[in-house]
Structure 1
Amino acid sequence: MGSCERRDDMRRSINIAAGLLLLAGSAAAASTQVPWDRIDGGSSLKEIEREIVAEVLGQAKCYGGCGETVLACLQKNPDDKIAKRLAAFAVRRVKADQDTPDILQEIEDRRLSAFPPKVFTPDLSGTRVCGDPKAPVKVVLYADFGCPYCKATATSLRSLLGKEPKRLAFYFKNYPLKSHDQAVPAALAVLAAERQGKFWEMHDLLYEEDQNLGETYFESCASKLGLDLARFRSDQKEKGLLDRLRAEKMEGIQFGVEKTPGILVNGKFYRGVRTWEELLDRIEEEGDLIAAGL
């Protein structure tokens, strides 16, 4: 009986080893089919990284219109913009130490960001805009002035538009968090500054010194911007500004914002990796989809 069990264990071990060798051989074979020189960052990958990316590309569906796997799309048309973006994304993610299941899930999150079950229509009437309001891509940011991730996103968008003002339209909406005791006062300060034509200037100053938020700093910023201090103080206390602040946050909640920053790209909730590089890629991808009529 013990001898039979040992033989069964040996067979199982041999089968597992054979299966692993088969998978390794399959991944290596798939790697040779990928046009690495046409994928951003592909040529610099280590062999094990190439095998992971090849496995991802052989499973992930390309949502750019071809209806096949990303690898099949690249083999048919190495210049397919969406397939190339997804392949470059997989390269970046494997370099960030993500494995096949994680990258496949992140690609699914990208798909839902590009083709969500619902597209929202935020109220942009009276909302301040940075960039060209006629731009084909509109980004709405629901943010808190005490949130470091909001700061990174907002300042990156501002920097991008400082160089390319016609590239997109960036709308800012307040979404103060209860965990930040100066979130509401900061939001009211920026809305009060807007009444004197200095919304974006105050926005930038608040994010510049986000660790010093408080009444003293708000008034220091108002003085620096040349605002009428008496009016600034009065406006911050006005019920109309608080109502507007509540409306902005409520809209974000209705659209599914649970944490900051909440981001809409042409009304599509961004569900992707929360880095500036990946958000910018999603913005550029939206332009590609519009150009392709998708």
Structure 2
Amino acid sequence: MPRFYRRLGLSITTLACLALAIIVSADAKGPLDVEAALAERIVGDPAAPVTIIEYASFTCPLCAAFHTGPDYDGLKKRFIETGQVKLVFRDFPLDNVSLHASMVARCAGTEGYFTRVGELFATQKQWATADDPTADLAEITGLDDAMLTECLSSTELSDGLFRLRAQGATDGVLFTPTYIVNGTMYPGSHSVEEFSEIIEPLVADK
């Protein structure tokens, strides 16, 4: 071992661990992967016979009521977790605050995405009316200052989210929430019982 490292009392193993830590740290703070951030967000079996596309805005009170009340949990337990339905979440930002929420939620990664969606809706009244919503959004999603800045300054990401909204508008979406179930549009709020009436005949036909 070189004399310099012996003077510092560092072993080869210690040096290797330090090098690995530096590599891991650099990777964790790497550049934003916009393609991954814009990837489709799906909960449920991709092969499920029924697809529900949900167009939602993070500042939409009715969207928050769905995700934080009994209807989403009921839909998940009765149809998603049983492999009958997959839910595709598509952002339909209604304002700059909801756009920033969509960006931050996606920048935080795919793992735990729907948990973050639930947390954002559960705390909507807190951050949506705050003087500085981005501070609350960063705390909820766990982004550090550097990643938050990179995320919110990404025009590529914001343009991609606007394309998602444009896709919704092309499909006929006018407001949130709007659901498309196997190609048929259902605007407005829907209870789990109403979803059941829509889903069960579709499952029976498969």
Same fold by TM-score greater than 0.5:
yes
Q: Determine if contact 2:75/2:195 at 8 Å carries over to the other structure.
A: no
Partner of residue 208, structure 1: 122
Partner of residue 157, structure 1: 72
Partner of residue 167, structure 1: 84
Q: Deviations along 1:142-170, whole A, 9 cap, x unmatched? A: 00111122123344335532565123100
Matched letter for residue 277 of structure 1 = E
Residue 276 of structure 1 and its aligned partner are, at CA, apart by 3.7
Partner of residue 141, structure 2: 222
Residue 285 of structure 1 and its aligned partner are, at CA, apart by 2.8
Partner of residue 10, structure 2: none
Partner of residue 187, structure 1: 102
Q: Determine if contact 1:153/1:276 at 8 Å carries over to the other structure.
A: no
Q: Determine if contact 1:129/1:171 at 8 Å carries over to the other structure.
A: yes
Partner of residue 194, structure 2: 278
Partner of residue 260, structure 1: 176
Q: Determine if contact 1:272/1:278 at 8 Å carries over to the other structure.
A: no
Structure 2 distance, partners of 1:273, 1:146, is 15
Q: Secondary structure at the match of 2:43?
A: strand
Instruction: Indicate how the Cα distance of structure 1 residues 126 and 277 shifts in structure 2: closer, same or farther if over 3 A, else same.
Output: same
Structure 2 distance, partners of 1:160, 1:278, is 10
Structure 2 distance, partners of 1:275, 1:160, is 9
Structure 1 distance, partners of 2:191, 2:77, is 20
TM-score (norm 2): 0.68
Bigger radius of gyration among the two: 1
Instruction: Indicate how the Cα distance of structure 1 residues 162 and 228 shifts in structure 2: closer, same or farther if over 3 A, else same.
Output: farther
Q: Deviations along 1:235-270, whole A, 9 cap, x unmatched? A: 232112101110110011001111111111012112
Tell me which of the two structures has the higher relative contact order, counting C-alpha pairs closer than 8 angstroms and 6 or more residues apart: 2
* Superposition CA RMSD, Å: 2.4
Q: Deviations along 1:202-225, whole A, 9 cap, x unmatched? A: 2111011111221121121133xx
Matched letter for residue 184 of structure 1 = L
Kindly indicate whether residue 160 of structure 2 is the aligned counterpart of residue 244 of structure 1.
Answer: yes
TM-score (norm 1): 0.49
Whichever structure has more strand as a proportion of its residues is 2
Q: Secondary structure at the match of 1:258?
A: coil
Structure 2 distance, partners of 1:268, 1:152, is 22
Structure 2 gap ranges (5+): 1-37, 128-132
Partner of residue 120, structure 1: none
Q: Percent identity?
A: 26
Kindly indicate whether residue 56 of structure 2 is the aligned counterpart of residue 143 of structure 1.
Answer: yes
> How many residue pairs get matched?
160
Matched letter for residue 166 of structure 2 = M
Matched letter for residue 206 of structure 1 = L
Q: Determine if contact 1:140/1:171 at 8 Å carries over to the other structure.
A: yes
Q: Determine if contact 2:176/2:187 at 8 Å carries over to the other structure.
A: no
Structure 2 distance, partners of 1:177, 1:228, is 25
Residue 177 of structure 1 and its aligned partner are, at CA, apart by 1.4
Residue 277 of structure 1 and its aligned partner are, at CA, apart by 2.4
Q: Secondary structure at the match of 2:108?
A: helix
